[in-house]
Structure 1
């Protein structure tokens, strides 16, 4: 990729954390949706320890976009090179480098470089890509800096868990209930309102009002990526409740020989500065972890139970 058509950008920040911590967060691309605001989902297609191929979904310029990315990891130099092998128009080509430099005093300089070209070189398309790259790069660096600088409390801030329900019904019936999220307000008592768009097949953008156990309501916004042949729906909350800095999850339906096991999985980064505001003076991260685990688990288990009743009733009436 040479010539005047190539646009180059550079973004950097200093992080008060060890270089190894920063590199570890960047190298673990599968967890980027939890770490980086723009990223919705990452599927690792291939990885041999150095060379990696990823399918990525992310928001850019107000749209949900997807591409295949090739990466080369070099932990010795703390450098990761990437290239989009199947970019989405108007991007014609996109490549770049993550560079991590260890500074004195245990701090790190993180630099993100992009080189890209745009189909047809139309001014409006160039401006769109430049704006998207700038906005996402700034968001990624700021989020990574904030997370890395709390690395000594990482295990307290991040939690993952799952709930399961056995269902005596075909996998397709259970998946269909979870996929038809637009019907949830009339099927699920704790969902009071839901607005849904699905401009690309299997990519759902939704805004949902959810009732909590004390009768209050909170609004979330999410992007869902659906894999019907695999019985999976992954999602990223782009607007989260007060206690959560980030929230990703997955619904999956797996045949188990006597029916199916429906699974709801959650991963969360807690918003530390909201703990006392939400839970009261003196509340700590341990209390926040219990509260979030119980609240999310209660709602997702209720949804799975309703999916069970719905799918099993179809089997009886069918």
Structure 2
């Protein structure tokens, strides 16, 4: 990477948590969709000793992107180096380092370094990348701090749950029903409006208005990563006010003559909005029950209609 065409950036934050705890959150890429707002999904493709190859699906300046990177993990130095091996335009090259620096037994500084170059060395594209790096790095470090410090206090705000149905039909048909979200207003009673775009095969942006049992309408926007016939992973990038985080998966598994379809959710409650939405005496547990009931009701409705669709076509 020539010095004249490259830019460098550094972002940092102080975290009131042990350096080893913070490093582990960064090192385990499976944490990232829950941890970092821009990350929708992350897979470890290869792992040999301290080296690994990962694929990340994330948002950058509001656009859905995917890329693969090589990482080198150094737990002794609390350091993770990364380099994209296949970038997406407008990025030509990008790499950097996570550095966790202990300040005491209960505090550390985290620095996130980037170096990058734009496709065709275009200055307009370079400015786009600079904005994306600054926005994502700032969001990631802030979320890392919140999650690391929350883990110390005990986190009762984040929870996961799942609903499953068995379908006497083909996995292709039931997968198709979930994948074809642009048809949901015609197929699902709780979906009022949908806008679906696919920037590249299997990478979707879904905006949707849904109705809850009490008649409230919620607008959500999700990025979905579709693995044909196997699973659809998503993350809401616009969530209802009672949530800070909502990620999920639709899983399709064949068992003999039946197909098992699961809707799995991971949610983080936004405690600041509990009293406004549920009343002054509402607790975190009340919020958890409310969110679980609302999401489960919609999931089970979708699963029932997908089951009916696939079994009628069988």
Q: Tell me the distance in 1 between the aligned counterparts of 2:135 and 2:41.
A: 18
Counterpart of 1:274 in structure 2 is 273
CA contact 1:18–1:102 (8 Å) conserved in 2: yes
Counterpart of 1:150 in structure 2 is 150
Q: Say which SS state the counterpart of residue 252 (structure 2) adopts.
A: strand
Counterpart of 1:309 in structure 2 is 308
Counterpart of 1:297 in structure 2 is 296
Counterpart of 1:62 in structure 2 is 62
Gaps of 5+ in 1: none
Indicate whether 1:285 and 2:294 are aligned: no
Q: Do the aligned partners of residues 46 and 309 (structure 1) sit closer, same or farther apart at CA in structure 2, a change above 3 Å counting?
A: same
CA contact 1:21–1:151 (8 Å) conserved in 2: no
**Equivalent residues in 2 for 1:120-131 (5 A)?**
120-131=120-131
Say what the alpha-carbon RMSD is for the aligned residues: 1.5
Q: Tell me the distance in 2 between the aligned counterparts of 1:119 and 1:199.
A: 19
Deviation of the 1:106 alpha carbon:
1.6
Q: Do the aligned partners of residues 197 and 53 (structure 1) sit closer, same or farther apart at CA in structure 2, a change above 3 Å counting?
A: same
Q: Tell me the distance in 1 between the aligned counterparts of 2:104 and 2:55.
A: 36
Deviation of the 1:49 alpha carbon:
5.3
Q: Do the aligned partners of residues 187 and 170 (structure 1) sit closer, same or farther apart at CA in structure 2, a change above 3 Å counting?
A: same
Counterpart of 1:184 in structure 2 is 184
1:24-78: CA deviation from partner (whole Å, max 9, x where unpaired): 2212212212221111111221224522211111111221111001111122221
CA contact 2:96–2:115 (8 Å) conserved in 1: yes
CA contact 2:12–2:112 (8 Å) conserved in 1: yes
Q: Say which SS state the counterpart of residue 244 (structure 2) adopts.
A: strand
Indicate whether 1:101 and 2:101 are aligned: yes
Q: Tell me the distance in 2 between the aligned counterparts of 1:47 and 1:265.
A: 27
**Equivalent residues in 2 for 1:129-278 (5 A)?**
129-228=129-228, 230-278=229-277
CA contact 1:197–1:204 (8 Å) conserved in 2: yes
Q: Tell me the distance in 2 between the aligned counterparts of 1:281 and 1:74.
A: 48
Q: Tell me the distance in 1 between the aligned counterparts of 2:90 and 2:292.
A: 41
Q: Tell me the distance in 2 between the aligned counterparts of 1:179 and 1:243.
A: 27
Deviation of the 1:153 alpha carbon:
4.1
Q: Say which SS state the counterpart of residue 149 (structure 1) adopts.
A: helix
Q: Say which SS state the counterpart of residue 17 (structure 2) adopts.
A: coil
Counterpart of 2:113 in structure 1 is 113
Indicate whether 1:75 and 2:61 are aligned: no
Deviation of the 1:283 alpha carbon:
2.2
Deviation of the 1:152 alpha carbon:
2.8
Counterpart of 2:84 in structure 1 is 84
CA contact 1:67–1:86 (8 Å) conserved in 2: yes
Q: Do the aligned partners of residues 178 and 29 (structure 1) sit closer, same or farther apart at CA in structure 2, a change above 3 Å counting?
A: same
1:288-316: CA deviation from partner (whole Å, max 9, x where unpaired): 2222222211211111111001110112x
Deviation of the 1:156 alpha carbon:
0.9
Deviation of the 1:17 alpha carbon:
1.9
Q: Say which SS state the counterpart of residue 214 (structure 1) adopts.
A: coil
Q: Tell me the distance in 2 between the aligned counterparts of 1:145 and 1:310.
A: 45
Q: Tell me the distance in 2 between the aligned counterparts of 1:268 and 1:24.
A: 21
Q: Name the stretch that deviates more: 51-60 or 271-280.
A: 271-280
Task: Please report the TM-score for the alignment, with normalisation by the length of structure 2.
Answer: 0.95
Q: Tell me the distance in 1 between the aligned counterparts of 2:313 and 2:155.
A: 43
Aligned residues: 314
Q: Tell me the distance in 1 between the aligned counterparts of 2:154 and 2:273.
A: 16
